Amino acid sequence: MSQATLHAPTVRTTCPYCAVQCTFDLHLERGLPVKVTPTKDCPVAHGTVCKKGLAALNDLRHPERLTTPLLRKGGELTPVGWDEALAYVRDALGNLPPERIGVFGSGSLTNEKTYLLGKFARVALRTPHIDYNGRYCMASASTALNRTVGYDRGLGFPADDLIRSDLLLLVGANVAETLPPLMQYLKGIKDRGGTIYAIDPRATTTSKVAGRHLAPRPGTDGILALGLLHLMKQWGRIRPTAPAHGMAQVLAHADDYHPARVAHDCGLTEEDIFTLGRAYAEARTPLILTGRGPEQHTQGTDTVQAWLNLAFLTGHFGKVGGGYAPLTGQGNGQGGREHGQKNDQLPGARSLRDPRHRAEIAALWDVPAEALPQPGHSAQELLNACGNPAEGGLDALIVIGSNPVVSAAGAGQVTQNLKALKHLIVIDFLPSETAQLATLVLPGSMWCEEDGTTTNLEGRVQRRRRAVTPPGAAREDWRILCDLAAALGRPHGFEYPDFRALQDEFFRATRGGKADYSGLSADRLDRATAQWPVKSATGPDTPYAYAPPFFTPDGLATLHVPQLRAPTLAPRALHLTTGRLGNQYQSGTQTRRNPALKAEQTVQIHPDTAREHGLGAGDLVTLRTAHGQATAPVALTPGLRRDTVFISFHWPESANLLTDPHALDPHSRMPGFKATPVTLHPAHLSLPLPTRPTLSPVS
């Protein structure tokens, strides 16, 4: 190592990817970050990282990095200067009624950008139609927690407490691939003699480490939870965490869920139900963690509710080491769902429907409260409305931090809708599939090119620090949003002299909200991270969030009776479920280009099912659903249920050509990403293997 390297400066920041938000030291050489070192004092990872984080710098100066605005001229995206790009925005959006313009945000954005995006939509565009990709992610868990205890902070306790659990139920969470540093806690639980169950239709890397695996049919997790509640009632194990509304109804409803019925609906044996029930009844600190497996269904909210009810009624919710919590996914999935990019939300997890909340934020933003729009379309409805007068008709959409052409349900239909828009403006740093459809692409900033804060899966706020400036004519995202407001002739409220001014306004805006960050500042966060709420500059943070009294008008929780149906399949149909691979991230914009992160798309099928369909390993199979079709090579997967197939959604034209853009959870507006009836069709076997799966939407 050269002397220069040894003495090179380092900048401490957080990873661009998942909700663990590992802290890194970035080593700089000649002003550019060249190496990532995990830091031992990272509160969750404690110095471990995953491959994605270590390789994150490969995208920073990637040859495809966007360095200039691109405007569609004569059908082609053509480099232009910022003046021309902003003049386009002025002419394009300035002449549209506000309710014809939509904004689509992201749980990848820092808290400050999330806050600014919500303000931009309501104050500069004056549109009700802003929502974000967290609707596809945490919305069902968040909705269930909010309606039960009045708020949602992901893990209600520090991650270090995970090892205090003596029974961990990982329900549809493949943490070995998706939140790898959490594996040290699984080891900790086992070292202390605890038991871990992975509940997943597939055997996964996680289930192997867990040691116990139950594979219910996709979409039946809530019924399994009802079966456990039924047993706990029979066995006299009901001792609620606190008095609550709705308990009698929830307990009466569980009477119908006897083990024989539950086993039948879930595709398990009665013995499975009893064994799990005994383990739960005997555990001192059972902890239920849900991932996207049980949540991303059209009955996702009620499914989570069933697990939450179980934890609450057996007295574990809110207790150290036990209870129920969802595992947050995106880097700022937690903060991203608190500060106003949600269609019905104002900063600090306030409600856009609440007159008092509207007045508080209107005063801060210096606008009349009546000028703030009411709630608009949710994410999928927003995309369904694009270019589509039959579904609420939007003419223009601004997308930042998401790639819905790959990640939205019914991506074939969504692609057609986006093409039908008059104006599609995408702020990204790489040419995502969505950016490639845009009429205007604005080159934004990557994680280590900006300051800000993110909130990790334990509700802990940490600083992101800028190590380098964006390349070429790329700009920091927050500046782009302010430039757009100015181009629209609405600069008032978007004239921050510097980033600190925006950040301080953001912290102030949360004062008095449920997600109160008002005691925080960049300086305080330099000294120590903090879990919200943090209500004053000198006051404490809140490591434990879910203790009564809850954030409800009377301080009590309200349990809801879950309405759950077991999915039915036509003859010959199978369940299609979707999810993630360890080496790829989300819609893949940031990881498919990264040579350090090799992965391939396959369709995982049980060997017996494959044989019945005349398929062998590596054969191309076409998956057909009511919404589209997709072709990819078969991977024989013995640990998978025979009635289920699995495909990842990291590649374009894959999983989401098969999912339904219209069926949504009535409470969370979540699409059914994880259960679609599918049929298998061997593709022409003499075809060469494609370098990436090829699919076409059903016309």
Which of 98, 188, 582, 607 forms a contact with ligand MGD (CB under 6 A)?
582
Neighbours of 205 (CB within 10 A): 15
Instruction: Work out how close the CB of 536 gets to ligand SF4 at its nearest, in angstroms, rounded to a whole number.
Output: 30
Instruction: Work out how close the CB of 16 gets to ligand SF4 at its nearest, in angstroms, rounded to a whole number.
Output: 7
Instruction: Work out how close the CB of 334 gets to ligand SF4 at its nearest, in angstroms, rounded to a whole number.
Output: 13
d(CA 643, CA 577): 11
User: Closest CB to Mo ion among 137 and 288?
Assistant: 137
Beta partners for residue 431, in sequence order: none
Q: Is 137 in the site for Mo ion (CB under 5 A)?
A: yes
The window from 123-131, 174-182, 252-260, 512-520 that contacts ligand MGD (CB under 6 A) reads: 174-182
d(CA 163, CA 188): 5
d(CA 512, CA 460): 18
Which of 15, 26, 400, 474 forms a contact with ligand MGD (CB under 6 A)?
400
Q: List CB contacts of 140: < 8 A, sequence separation 6 or more.
A: 295, 296, 297, 300, 301, 303, 304, 665, 667, 668, 670
CB 222 within 8 A of CB 307: yes
Q: How many chain residues touch ligand MGD (CB under 6 A)?
A: 64
User: Closest CB to ligand SF4 among 22 and 229?
Assistant: 22
How distant, in Å, are the alpha carbons of 44, 316, 338, 425 from that of 190? 18, 20, 34, 50
User: Closest CB to ligand MGD among 386 and 675?
Assistant: 675
User: Closest CB to Mo ion among 140 and 345?
Assistant: 140
DSSP state for residue 161 in the 8-state scheme? G
Q: Is 136 in the site for ligand MGD (CB under 6 A)?
A: yes
Query: For tokens 């506000």, what's the residue?
Result: 98
Q: Is 137 in the site for ligand MGD (CB under 6 A)?
A: yes
Q: Is 589 in the site for ligand MGD (CB under 6 A)?
A: yes
Instruction: Work out how close the CB of 693 gets to ligand MGD at its nearest, in angstroms, rounded to a whole number.
Output: 13
CB 417 within 8 A of CB 383: yes
SS (H, E, C) 217-260: CCCCHHHHHHHHHHHHHHCCCCCCCCCEECHHHHHHHHCCCCHH
Beta partners for residue 604, in sequence order: 635, 646
Dihedral-angle region of residue 383 (phi above 0 means left; psi in -120 to 50 means alpha; beta otherwise): alpha
- Convert residues 328-347 into a mask of x (bound to ligand MGD by CB under 6 A) and - (unbound): -xx-----------------
User: Which of ligand SF4, Mo ion, ligand MGD, none binds 586 (CB below 5-8 Å, type-dependent)?
Assistant: ligand MGD
The window from 38-46, 278-286, 356-364, 576-584 that contacts ligand MGD (CB under 6 A) reads: 576-584
User: Closest CB to ligand SF4 among 15 and 289?
Assistant: 15
Instruction: Work out how close the CB of 388 gets to ligand MGD at its nearest, in angstroms, rounded to a whole number.
Output: 20
User: Which of ligand SF4, Mo ion, ligand MGD, none binds 413 (CB below 5-8 Å, type-dependent)?
Assistant: none
Query: For tokens 């407001």, what's the residue?
Result: 485
User: Which of ligand SF4, Mo ion, ligand MGD, none binds 171 (CB below 5-8 Å, type-dependent)?
Assistant: ligand MGD
The window from 131-139, 146-154, 193-201, 461-469 that contacts Mo ion (CB under 5 A) reads: 131-139
The window from 154-162, 263-271, 555-563, 672-680 that contacts ligand MGD (CB under 6 A) reads: 672-680
User: Closest CB to ligand MGD among 444 and 459?
Assistant: 444
The window from 59-67, 323-331, 359-367, 386-394 that contacts Mo ion (CB under 5 A) reads: 323-331
- Convert residues 610-649 into a mask of x (bound to ligand MGD by CB under 6 A) and - (unbound): ------------------------------------x--x
Instruction: Work out how close the CB of 54 gets to ligand SF4 at its nearest, in angstroms, rounded to a whole number.
Output: 7
**Among 609, 607, 602, CA closest to 634:** 602
User: Closest CB to ligand MGD among 435 and 488?
Assistant: 435
> Tokens representing 230?
């039924």
Question: Would you call 286 helix, strand, or coil by DSSP?
Answer: strand
**Among 102, 611, 90, 153, CA closest to 348:** 153
Q: Give residues 457-486 in contact with ligand MGD (rule: CB under 6 A).
A: 477
Instruction: Work out how close the CB of 297 gets to ligand SF4 at its nearest, in angstroms, rounded to a whole number.
Output: 25
Instruction: Work out how close the CB of 19 gets to Mo ion at its nearest, in angstroms, rounded to a whole number.
Output: 8
Rounded (10°) angle between helices 270-282 and 221-234: 60
> Tokens representing 63?
């040859």
Q: Is 112 in the site for ligand MGD (CB under 6 A)?
A: no
Helices (H), 16-168: 51-54, 82-94, 111-119, 139-149
Which of 329, 335, 452, 697 forms a contact with Mo ion (CB under 5 A)?
329
CB 425 within 8 A of CB 435: no
User: Closest CB to ligand SF4 among 180 and 677?
Assistant: 180
d(CA 307, CA 140): 12
Instruction: Tell me which residue has its CB nearest to ligand SF4.
Output: 53
Which of 103, 228, 268, 427 forms a contact with ligand MGD (CB under 6 A)?
427
Query: What is the chain's length?
Result: 699
Which of 142, 165, 178, 594 forms a contact with ligand MGD (CB under 6 A)?
178
How distant, in Å, are the alpha carbons of 7, 209, 345 from that of 180? 31, 12, 32
Instruction: Work out how close the CB of 444 gets to ligand MGD at its nearest, in angstroms, rounded to a whole number.
Output: 3
Q: Give residues 434-453 in contact with ligand MGD (rule: CB under 6 A).
A: 444
Question: What percent of the chain is helix, strand and coil (3-state, nearest 5)?
Answer: 35, 20, 45
How distant, in Å, are the alpha carbons of 82, 344, 442, 471 from that of 429? 15, 28, 8, 10
d(CA 167, CA 169): 7
User: Closest CB to ligand MGD among 241 and 299?
Assistant: 299
The amino acid occupying position 92 is A
User: Which of ligand SF4, Mo ion, ligand MGD, none binds 201 (CB below 5-8 Å, type-dependent)?
Assistant: ligand MGD
d(CA 186, CA 173): 13
577-601 burial: b if 16+ Cβ within 10 Å, else e: bbbbbbbbbbbbbbbbbbeebebbb
User: Which of Mo ion, ligand MGD, ligand SF4, none binds 77 (CB below 5-8 Å, type-dependent)?
Assistant: none
Beta partners for residue 530, in sequence order: 461
Instruction: Tell me which residue has its CB nearest to ligand MGD.
Output: 329
User: Which of Mo ion, ligand MGD, ligand SF4, none binds 22 (CB below 5-8 Å, type-dependent)?
Assistant: ligand SF4
- Convert residues 181-220 into a mask of x (bound to ligand MGD by CB under 6 A) and - (unbound): ------------------xxxx-x-------------xx-
Residues at the interface with ligand SF4 (CB under 6 A): 15, 17-18, 20-22, 45, 49-50, 52-53, 180-181
d(CA 496, CA 515): 24
d(CA 332, CA 426): 20
- The site for Mo ion (CB under 5 A) is made up of 137, 329
Residues interacting with ligand MGD, by CB under 6 A?
18, 106-109, 133, 136-137, 171-175, 177-179, 199-202, 204, 218-219, 221, 291-294, 296, 329-330, 400-404, 406-407, 427-430, 432, 444, 477, 577-580, 582, 584-587, 589-590, 646, 649, 655-656, 659, 673-675
